[in-house]
Amino acid sequence: MIPFRKVELETSGSLYLHSMPGKEEPLAECFQALEETSVDRIICLNRQDELDEKSPDYAKAIADGTLPCEHIHFPIGNFGVPEDREAFLTLAKEFAEQLKAGKNILVHCAGGVGRTGTLASCITTALNKPLSLVTAAGGKAETDQQRELIASL
Angle between helix 85-100 and 114-126 (nearest 10): 60
Q: Which domains does the chain have, with CATH numbers?
A: 5-151 (3.90.190.10)
Give me the pLDDT at residue 2, please: 73
Query: Positive or negative CA dihedral for 111, 39, 135, 146?
Result: positive
* Ranges of the chain with pLDDT below 70: 1
Give me the pLDDT at residue 1, please: 67
Give me the pLDDT at residue 5, please: 98
Give me the pLDDT at residue 137, please: 98
Give me the pLDDT at residue 48, please: 97
Closest by Cα among 109, 104, 147 to 125: 147
Q: What whole-number distance in Å separates Cα of residue 38 and Cα of residue 64?
A: 21
The amino acid at residue 145 is Q
Indicate the Cα dihedral angle 22, 17, 126, 115, nearest 10°. -60
The pTM assigned to this predicted structure is 0.96
Give me the pLDDT at residue 67, please: 97
Give me the pLDDT at residue 3, please: 84
Q: Which residues 6+ apart lie within 8 Å of 102 measured at CB?
A: 12, 13
CB-CB neighbours of 70 under 10 Å? 12
Q: Which helix (H) or strand (E) holds 105?
A: strand 105-108
